[in-house]
Amino acid sequence: MTISPRPPSIPAYLGLEPKKLFIGGEWVAPLSAKTFPSVNPSTGAIIANLADAGADDVDRAVRAARQALEGPWAAFKPHQRQNVLLRLAELLEEHYAELSLLATHDMGTPVSRSARQKHRIVETLRYNAGWATKIYGDTIENSAPGEFFSYTLKEPIGVVGAITPWNGPLVSPLEKIGPALAAGCTIILKPSEHASIPALRLAEIMEALDLPPGVFNVITGAGEAGGALAAHLDVDKISFTGSHVTGQKIVEASAGNMKQLAMELGGKSPDIVFADADFERAVPGAAMGVLGNTGQMCMAGSRLFVHDSIYDDFVAAVAEFASGLKVGSGLDLSTDLGPVVSERQLDRVLGYVRSGQAEGANMVLEGGRLDSGELAHGFFISPTVFSEVADEMTIAREEIFGPVISALRFHDTDEVIRRANASEFGLGAGVWTTNVSTAHQMARALRSGSVWVNCYAVGDASVPFGGYKLSGYGKEKGIEGLNEYLTTKTVWIRTD
């Protein structure tokens, strides 16, 4: 029997030997040779050194992606692209435990949460595999004087830059890779500098697909690499998930070649509990709608509107539920909430907690940094629940991206619609009611890309997701998600 030099919970992929970039089917060092450390947020330890790609590396990757797009990848028949994605789904199933463990080490998410997401991630690939063989244009009767035949062709949009955040280190890249490959695009993935390790390992795993070099590339780095990709004149599309501030920079950077954009940005989503709600369901539903992934969810229902008649009881029950959640290392199967991703993020969240107190909100459950015993060097924070939050307070307006619930009191339906919509964001919204009329009325009235009734943050590969207003534009998932990676060409043929 050989003795493993490391506990089995530390994947062999981790180590301080600098990681490389995956460009044109090869692992290459960045031209600058620069690296940056990746920190485990549960321990504060450096677990890998990652390549810090510069504009010249981005350019190499774009050239490789262009060559593949115009070369061997264009020759792939739809059924071949379908098979690529079906095989990728199998590979992902095989390697999922390792990838999710890497995600836990890299950004802290509990392995139990990743396990719950497995089905969704794998089925995203199978769903998009199906689309690869079902892409078609239209023949269109026209009234132009003369005899003309007109039809449309659906073509891959081209070279896609996929820029992803840390909070979904596997979901976010794969929700872009699936439809992009189905459509026949080539991809340069630039994962978050806080969660690149699963993406790098995924690229290794994807080598088993024998894709033509350049179809799938991964470059690591931070804003400079992302910015170079967004500005590159030979990138046709950026699919971005992240903060609205970075989204706005990408919109500006994209102007040079008028590249197309899909923007999944942040939110300050309302979650509205009516007096007739199923109390027992709504309490954990509303609480986890904010606290899931330690609050690091773009659609977090972080403005919790509760009807005056149940307000005190409901907020007390939410606080009790939140206080019972176990905060700790994501490797522990009993952990509900892992750490936040970085010390900077921890400080940001604590800053919001202080601002809630300073602006007069009532702290029903006091959260704060947890740093004793095993948690000493990690970025752990327990949930905070504020009541009597007013609409103009900072904690009711800005995205916190941490485990902080702001409970607001409302009295009637028109009032709560007006207040819920009075946000510059419009990503998600929740409604808890047993009245079917209220459910439909609210679903129409709320100005957000998704409305969840008696549930929160449910998602599926076939159902589109995206934002209104400052939460972005473009959709992921469903046929609308596929269409983000296709473009329509019109053909006219004179027939007389």
The footprint of ligand ADP on this chain (CB under 6 A) covers a number of residues equal to 17
Binding residue for ligand ADP, selected from 15, 37, 223, 324, defined by CB under 6 A: 223
> What string marks each residue from 158 to 187 as x (binds ligand ADP by CB under 6 A) or -?
-----xxxx---------------------
User: Within 13 Å and on the Cβ side, how many CA atoms surround 419?
Assistant: 23
Decide: is 230 part of the binding site for ligand ADP (CB under 6 A).
yes
d(CA 103, CA 492): 50
Among 10, 31, 86, 222, binds ligand ADP (CB under 6 A): 222
| CA gap 417, 72 in Å, rounded | 53
Check if the beta carbon of residue 196 is closer than 8 Å to that of residue 30: no
Cα separation, 458 vs 280, in Å, equals 18
Nearer to ligand ADP, 343 or 460 (CB): 343
Q: Which stretch binds ligand ADP (CB under 6 A): 22-30, 126-134, 181-189, 190-198?
A: 190-198
Q: How far is the CB of 117 from ligand ADP (least distance, A)?
A: 19
Please give the Cα distance from 301 to 295 (Å, whole number): 9
**Catalytic status, residue 298:** yes
By CB under 6 A, tell whether 108 contacts ligand ADP.
no
Rounded to a whole number of angstroms, the minimum distance from the CB of residue 140 to ligand ADP is 38
- Would you state the structure tokens that stand for residue 166, as one six-digit string? 């840390």
* Sign of torsion over alpha carbons 183, 452, 240, 64: negative
261 close to 272: Cβ distance less than 8 angstroms: no
Residues 243-262 that bind ligand ADP (CB under 6 A): 243, 246, 249-250
**Using CA atoms, how far apart are residues 184 and 332, in angstroms rounded to an integer?**
40
Binding-site member from 192, 269, 293, 384 for ligand ADP (CB under 6 A): 192
Q: Nearest to ligand ADP by Cβ — which residue? A: 226
Going through 157-296 in order, the beta strands assigned E by DSSP cover 159-163, 186-190, 216-218, 237-241, 260-264, 270-273
Contact pick of 57, 106, 193, 271 for ligand ADP (by CB under 6 A):
193
Told to judge if 264 belongs to the known catalytic residues of this protein, a careful annotator would answer yes
SS3 state of residue 17: coil
Residue matched to tokens 């050194």: 49
Residue 236 and residue 158 in contact, taking contact as beta carbons nearer than 8 Å = yes
For β-strands 303-307 and 270-273, DSSP reports them as parallel
Q: Minimum Å distance from CB 165 to ligand ADP?
A: 4
- Residue 26 CB, shortest distance to ligand ADP, in Å, is 22
Residue from the set 190, 232, 259, 475 that interacts with ligand ADP by CB under 6 A: 190
User: Of these residues, 175, 193, 298, 484, which one is catalytic?
Assistant: 298
Active-site option among 264, 399, 476, 484: 264
Our CB check for ligand ADP shows the closer of 220 and 406 to be: 220
CA angle (471, 258, 246) in 5-degree steps = 35
Catalytic amino acids? Answer: 264, 298
**Residues at the contact surface with ligand ADP, assessed by CB under 6 A:** 163-166, 190, 192-193, 222-223, 226-227, 230, 242-243, 246, 249-250
